[in-house]
Structure 1
């Protein structure tokens, strides 16, 4: 991927729109309501490759449900807030330390964003048992769901759930690890930065996971 210059980029909105469903004649389908912006590595001019994925997913959550950047905190503000709250030790500001769903839920409350509800799944295989929760979340008007784990520490967001006629289940994933200047939704979709994936391919059965489910306050 060609590196983008380190300057703020124009953020794309609702980058999942136009995607084909993962199967024909799905038995069930539920997608997020509202709008969001796609935050990713380097989108504000800061090179956060290798450590910033949790922050970027949190920013995407903060942009929901209006799909606007107003009120979305920058990475420095997020680190300062976590240090001021006592969640992180002095010196966290300016570091390249990761954050996950627990920190995201604290920041959503701190910055007055959407409500973030935490859910812990001891093993990735157990996420199959959480699909009903995800269906209900999206059907009831919920927003993006942040996901992060231990063995699988790469943050991502879930935007929907689809169950095929053959009982195969898919989740609509948004990956914040993109580096560059995305030109369009279709470019991101073709490269797989947003797309439908089987549950088994998204989640590591050996990793625990936390989920942060966003709802309107």
Structure 2
């Protein structure tokens, strides 16, 4: 264990995390201009999980954005856009933004306006990754981010301690991208002895009904180990920086 890792472990221990409840999300009333209609809020609340050790789950509300959830068919290419929209919804509930999540076109227009993508990217089915999401958050939401990376999916357990710390401090949903896929992390169960983790994954590839039972049964939200991820792909994780950080 490095000196910095030991320091984080000390902070976690001082906060008595092991006895703290696994998340306490309660849907809050939003201003009229932030109307999510019948979108599903906090689907993780229906997922059963017995903590192995240091288990930390998202504490504030968010909306589940996934393929086709708003009638727009982005199947096969829009997973990272949906992860961004989920993160943005969390910012709405935290009162850090005062507008609804940007559409796919608005996201593309932002990336073109800052010079990250060519003009022809607007209206395309082009993929985006964690850094593009970060640029959009910086420019449209005026929030900052930091990134974590792993050489392969087999190495993702190395971020267990950092993710536990992130969610302990009321952190936002975390976008993770690797290969051709993006997902959203909502929590982590980190075994401090073995270093192994389980990740609470919100899957933007889900195309079913916005019904809690259907989402859980259809795999829209579930706990996964690193075996869920591609052992040959590089992964980047995007973490929104809290205002108090």
Q: How high is the TM-score relative to the length of structure 1? A: 0.86
Q: Tell me what 1:38 maps to.
A: 64
Q: Tell me what 1:17 maps to.
A: 45
Q: Tell me what 1:117 maps to.
A: 146
Q: Tell me what 1:55 maps to.
A: 81
Distance 1:34 1:114 in 2: 17
Would the aligned equivalents of 2:175 and 2:185 in 1 still touch at CA under 8 Å?
yes
Would the aligned equivalents of 1:37 and 1:67 in 2 still touch at CA under 8 Å?
no
Structure 2 unaligned segments of length 5 or more: list them.
1-35
Structure 1 unaligned segments of length 5 or more: list them.
1-7
Q: Which of residues 174, 198, 209 is equivalent to 2:202? A: 174
Q: Write out per-residue CA displacement over residues 159-191 of structure 1, whole angstroms, 9 at most, x where no aligned residue.
A: 001146995521100001122432x22221122
- 2:141 counterpart SS class: coil
Q: How high is the TM-score relative to the length of structure 2? A: 0.76
CA shift, 1:130, in A, is 1.4
CA shift, 1:102, in A, is 0.7
Distance 1:166 1:19 in 2: 25
Larger mean CA deviation between 55-64 and 104-113 belongs to 104-113
CA shift, 1:90, in A, is 1.5
Larger relative contact order (C-alpha < 8 A, sep ≥ 6)? 1
Q: Write out per-residue CA displacement over residues 72-106 of structure 1, whole angstroms, 9 at most, x where no aligned residue.
A: 11111000000111000121100000011010000
- 1:91 counterpart SS class: helix
Distance 1:36 1:19 in 2: 15
| CA separation of 1:192 and 1:113: change in aligned 2, threshold 3 A | farther
Would the aligned equivalents of 1:35 and 1:66 in 2 still touch at CA under 8 Å?
no
| CA separation of 1:166 and 1:126: change in aligned 2, threshold 3 A | closer
Larger % of helix: which?
A: 2
